[in-house]
Amino acid sequence: MDENRSQAYLKLIQSLLDSPRGEEAQILQANSELVDAGLVQVMVSVAEHLAAEGSQNATR
């Protein structure tokens, strides 16, 4: 996966996280060229990172 595509995935994920509830499908449709297995892999990595970060913050 090239760096530009990785950055595009991260930008899309951030847009989804920041979007108002119910607009996710619209955002995904507007970025349908990025909806693939690579996006899923990056989503899993981001979710794991956020979960680990949350666990660390909970112990502080």
Length of the chain: 60
Q: Where are the domains of the chain?
A: 3-58
23 phi and psi angles, rounded to 5 deg: -95, 0
22: left (phi over 0), alpha (psi -120 to 50) or beta: left
Q: pLDDT of 14-44, one tens digit each?
A: 999 999 999 999 999 999 999 999 999 999 9
42: number of Cβ within 10 Å: 19
- pLDDT of res. 48: 95
Tokens of 37: 């297995």
CB 15 within 8 Å of CB 41:
no
SS3 35: coil
pLDDT value for 56 = 73
Average pLDDT for 40-54: 94
